[in-house]
Every structure is written in C-alpha cells, then in structure tokens.
C-alpha cells in the first residue's frame, strides 16, 4: 500500500481502537447509527443538487429530490413546524444564513456573552462580527446559569435589537422565552434561537420547544444531542412567506452551494430513527445528566447551579479550580480514557486557563448507559480528581467498562456485527 495511505489508515484505526475503549463525554458530539453511516459512504456524497427539489440547476437529481422531500417531511413532523431547510452543512453555516437573512452591517443584535456559554459564531471575532453586527450581551444570573429575565427584558426594550438571539454551548437550562414575549413585542424584534446543543432534546420533547414559545427561527447542528451526521438545520413555524423566502435565499445562493447530499440522506435516517426512539432517548439523556451531576456533587466535585438542580439538559459545567483547573483536569481525564473539554466559567478571565470543564451525557446514553453507570463514571472522576489515583489503572477499567457498552442504541440495527463493521463503538 502507498506509504501515505497506509499511514492515514493506521491513524484512523488507532483512533477507532482508542475511542471505542473510552468514555466520550464531550457535550457537542455523538455517534451515528449503522444505517445512517451507510448513507455517508453512498454516491450521494459525490453529487451536486443546487437549488430546491424538482427545480435543480443540474441533472441527475431525481432520487436526491425524493430523499430531500422525505427529510423535510420527517423534520416538519418531529418539530411540528411549517418550514425546514436541510441544506445547511453545519450549525455555524445555519447561523450565517440567519445573519445574512435578518441582519445588516451596523444592526444591533442581543445575545448571550461568550463567558456565559455562547458559541463563537455569535461573537465579534466570529460570524456575527464578520457580518458587522453590533452585539449587546444579556445580563446573566450566574447562580441559575441562565440569563437574568427581568434585566434582559429591560435591555431588549432599551436597545431595541433587530434580532434577539438566544442559545448557548454551555446550555444547562431552558431560555425563558415566554417571559420575554412582551419585551420582544415592544422592541419589534425577530427572535432567533440557536439550538445546536439541544436539538435532540427539543425534538424529543424535553427541555423546551422554542418555535412554539415565541422564536421565529431555530438553527442548529444535527450531531450533538440529535445523533446524526455532521450537518446543520434551520426551522421555522412562521406563516410569513416573505420572511421564509429571505431565509431560504440566504441559504442558497447565500451561504451554501452544494449541500452535502450524503449527510442530508444520513440525517433522514437519523430522523426516522428519532421518530421511533427519540422521546425515550432524550428523556434518558436528561435523567443521566441529573444523575451524573448529583453523583459528582456527592463525591466532592463542584457542579454549577447546585441550588437549581444542576441541569435540565444533557450538559453539566464543573468548577475544577480546586483540582488544578480545566486544562489540567481535561488532560488528566484523557489519560484515563475519559474525553472531555476545558471550558470557561462565567467568572473566568483567561480563555486559555479556564477553571471549568464541560460534560455531556448524550453519547454515553446512546451507548446504552443509564443512571447506575453515571454513578460509576462519577466514581472514576472522584478517584482521579479527589483521591489522585493513577490514571493508567483507571484507563484499564474504562476500557473494560466499554466492552459492555459497545453498540449504538435508539436505532433500528440490533445486530452487534453491523456496529462492529462500522467500528461505531
């Protein structure tokens, strides 16, 4: 075999061997099902289909059009909305479409601050800044790890943004959209909810339902709590045809040309499986997050928002300053085969030396873990952080634990062999 190809194959094999014996706890990741993965290697990944189904610019799209129609229909059914665009190739690209559709350079947008958990696409040095949007951040209640609803209503009435944006990457509690309804009316703004992290929870009927609580548009990734391919999604329940047209034109020809048809097909399979298993999956993700938070807390590890039940989503934020800070702890955990990331906490000033780590339970849940396993995971954390046990020994235990959780759950494929063939777990 060619030396370069052999090298590349070896790295991917090693990655699979390592990940399949580790605890994947990054809150923005997930693993797709065997049937969805099959779509990713189909010929759909080699084609173009610019425009809308049945009105394409290229020939050869007859079956692509059928798939796209079905993906849209499934999403509309699951999210109970009138409009869905499956052509966004990532969550950030979905956000860019909103920036181009609803905001012009110099316009004011209100949003959550980065240090309070927002995503870089809403920051000055991210897509918002590139569009020339003037960003004003909401007052935040650190105790509740949520925006301060009264002060936020005042701010929105004062600055009258063109768009009030919500949603976070450290997203522990639902946004009080209903409580802000009158402020939105007074300001005359559009309401945009970035649900990248919580898309699967929204689809599964937990957390909140932003498009039925006052949001005009919902964007997100399809690979975080929604366990699909790396792709994006844009949804709206608006009846305003002009508004929907603006969003649609911002997608194409605005920010997307080819829309990664293989990923779109895989999203279709994900949505079909979600229709069958999504409510159970979403509910278990949140139960697991609460169980993990409680167990970590009982073992002497500081979980944020203690007085408010720690979390209502898949995610937890830990303050690990007492154990050497986020960077050190995330590195130590990785040596023990526990994959997490360091994260800014609201009071941090340095993004390279944050005092927190962020955890998510969506992927462990997908592998079949329940509350009992969350307590075992919390034990491992305590042995590493609190007791200072050697990470090498714990790594061996993690690998052993994973041998019982090595298939993808909440999907149609029950045959373990198929999971192994795709090296999913």
Residue 6, class by beta-carbon neighbours within 10 Å (0-12 exposed, 13-18 middle, 19+ buried)? exposed
Give one DSSP letter per residue of 296-325, joined into a string: HHHTT-EES-GGGTS-SSSEEEEE-GGGT-
85 near ligand PLP, rule: CB under 6 A: no
Residue of closest CB approach to ligand PLP: 91
**CA 68 distance to own-chain centroid:** 22
Instruction: Kindly state the tokens that stand for 420.
Output: 């192994």
| Strand partners of residue 357 | 318, 342
| Rounded (to 5) percent helix, strand, coil in the chain | 50, 15, 40
- Contact pattern from residue 119 through residue 158 relative to ligand PLP, giving x for each residue in contact according to CB under 6 A and a dash for the rest: x-x-------------------------------------
Near ligand PLP by CB under 6 A, which window of 6-14, 15-23, 85-93, 373-381? Answer: 85-93
Site string for ligand PLP, 100-119 (x = CB under 6 A): -------------------x
Residue 104 structure tokens: 């012009």
DSSP secondary structure letter of residue 78? H
DSSP 140-159: EETTTTEE-HHHHHHHHHHH
CB of 280 to ligand PLP, least distance (A): 24
Q: Which stretch binds ligand PLP (CB under 6 A): 10-18, 89-97, 137-145, 204-212?
A: 89-97
Per rule CB under 6 A, is residue 358 in the interface with ligand PLP?
A: no
Q: Residue 230 Cβ, how far from ligand PLP at the closest point, in Å?
A: 7
Nearer Cβ to ligand PLP (130/158): 130
Q: Is 90 in the site for ligand PLP (CB under 6 A)?
A: yes
Please report the beta strands in 69-197, taking only residues with DSSP state E, as ranges in sequence order: 83-85, 108-111, 134-137, 140-141, 146-147, 163-166, 190-194
Strands, E assignment, 107-197 = 108-111, 134-137, 140-141, 146-147, 163-166, 190-194
ω into residue 253 within 30 of 0, thus cis?
Answer: yes
Alpha-carbon span 315 to 329, nearest angstrom: 17
What minimum distance in Å lies between the beta carbon of 359 and ligand PLP? 14
From candidates 221, 294, 361, 413, binder to ligand PLP by CB under 6 A: 221
Q: Does 196 bind ligand PLP (CB under 6 A)?
A: yes
- Total binding residues toward ligand PLP, as defined by CB under 6 A: 15
Q: At 147, give phi and psi (nearest 5°).
A: -65, 150
Any contact of residue 270 with ligand PLP (CB under 6 A)?
no
Least distance (Å) between residue 107 CB and ligand PLP? 19
Q: Does the footprint of ligand PLP cover residue 232 (CB under 6 A)?
A: yes
**CA 217 – CA 259 distance, rounded (Å):** 20
Q: Between residues 94 and 394, which has the closer beta carbon with respect to ligand PLP?
A: 94
Q: Which strand (E) or helix (H) includes residue 55? A: strand 55-56
Stretch that binds ligand PLP, among 5-13, 163-171, 353-361, 414-422 (CB under 6 A): 163-171
Does 169 interact with ligand PLP (rule: CB under 6 A)?
yes
User: How far apart are the C-alpha atoms of 214 and 217, rounded to whole Å?
Assistant: 9
Min dist. Cβ of residue 42 to ligand PLP (A): 21
Cβ closest to ligand PLP, residue 22 vs residue 92: 92
Residue 343 in the binding site for ligand PLP (CB under 6 A): no
Which residue lies nearer to ligand PLP by CB, 252 or 381? 252
Interaction with ligand PLP in 21-40: which residues (CB under 6 A)? Answer: 28
Binding of ligand PLP by 194 (CB under 6 A): yes
Site string for ligand PLP, 46-65 (x = CB under 6 A): --------------------
- Sign, CA dihedral 97-98-99-104, equals positive
175 or 221: CB nearest ligand PLP: 221
Would you say 370 and 381 are in contact if contact means Cβ atoms under 8 Å apart?
A: no
> What's the rounded Cα separation, in Å, for the pair 207 and 314?
9
Contacts of 135 (CB under 8 A, 6+ apart): 108, 109, 110, 111, 122, 123, 124, 128, 129
Least CB distance to ligand PLP at residue 211 (A) = 16
Task: Give the nearer residue to ligand PLP in terms of CB position, either 221 or 362.
Answer: 221
Of 20, 22, 33, 92, which one interacts with ligand PLP (CB under 6 A)? Answer: 92
Binding site for ligand PLP (CB under 6 A): 28, 90-92, 95, 119, 121, 167-169, 194, 196-197, 221, 232
């Amino acid at each position: 075999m060619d030396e370069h190809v052999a090298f590349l194959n070896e790295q991917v094999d090693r990655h699979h061997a390592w990940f399949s014996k580790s605890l994947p706890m990054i809150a923005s990741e997930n693993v797709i099902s065997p049937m969805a993965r099959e779509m990713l290697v189909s010929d759909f990944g080699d084609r173009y289909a610019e425009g809308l189904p049945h009105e394409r610019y290229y020939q050869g799209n007859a079956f692509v059009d059928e798939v796209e129609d079905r993906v849209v229909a499934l999403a509309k059914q699951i999210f109970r909305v009138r409009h869905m665009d499956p052509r966004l190739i990532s969550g950030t690209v979905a956000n860019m479409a909103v920036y181009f559709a609803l905001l012009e350079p110099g316009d004011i947008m209100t949003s959550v601050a980065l240090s309070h958990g927002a995503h870089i696409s809403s920051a000055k040095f991210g897509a918002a800044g590139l569009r020339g949007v003037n960003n004003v951040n909401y007052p935040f209640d650190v105790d509740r790890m949520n925006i301060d609803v009264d002060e936020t209503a005042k701010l929105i009435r004062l600055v009258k943004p063109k768009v009030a944006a919500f949603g976070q990457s450290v997203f522990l509690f639902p946004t009080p959209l209903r409580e802000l309804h009158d402020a939105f009316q007074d300001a005359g703004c559009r309401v945009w909810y970035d649900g990248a992290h919580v898309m699967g929870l929204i689809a599964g009927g937990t957390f909140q339902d932003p498009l039925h609580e006052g949001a005009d548009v919902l964007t997100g990734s399809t690979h975080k709590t929604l366990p699909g391919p790396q792709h994006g999604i844009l949804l709206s329940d608006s009846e305003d045809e002009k508004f929907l047209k603006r969003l649609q034109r911002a997608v194409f020809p605005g920010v997307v040309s080819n829309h990664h048809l293989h990923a779109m097909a895989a999203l279709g399979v994900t949505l079909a499986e979600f229709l069958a298993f999504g409510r159970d999956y979403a509910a278990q993700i949140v139960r697991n997050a609460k169980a993990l938070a409680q167990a970590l807390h009982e073992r002497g590890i500081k979980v944020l928002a203690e007085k408010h039940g720690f979390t209502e989503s898949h995610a937890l934020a830990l303050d690990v300053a007492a154990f050497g800070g986020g960077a050190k702890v995330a590195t130590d955990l990785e040596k023990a085969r526990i994959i997490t990331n360091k994260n800014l906490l609201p009071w941090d000033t340095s993004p390279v030396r944050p005092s927190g780590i962020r955890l998510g339970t969506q992927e462990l849940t997908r592998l079949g873990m329940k509350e009992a396993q969350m307590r075992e995971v919390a034990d491992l954390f305590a042995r590493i952080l609190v007791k200072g046990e050697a990470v090498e020994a714990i790594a061996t235990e993690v690998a052993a634990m994973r041998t019982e959780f090595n298939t993808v759950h909440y999907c149609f494929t029950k045959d373990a062999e198929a999971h192994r063939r795709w090296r999913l777990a």
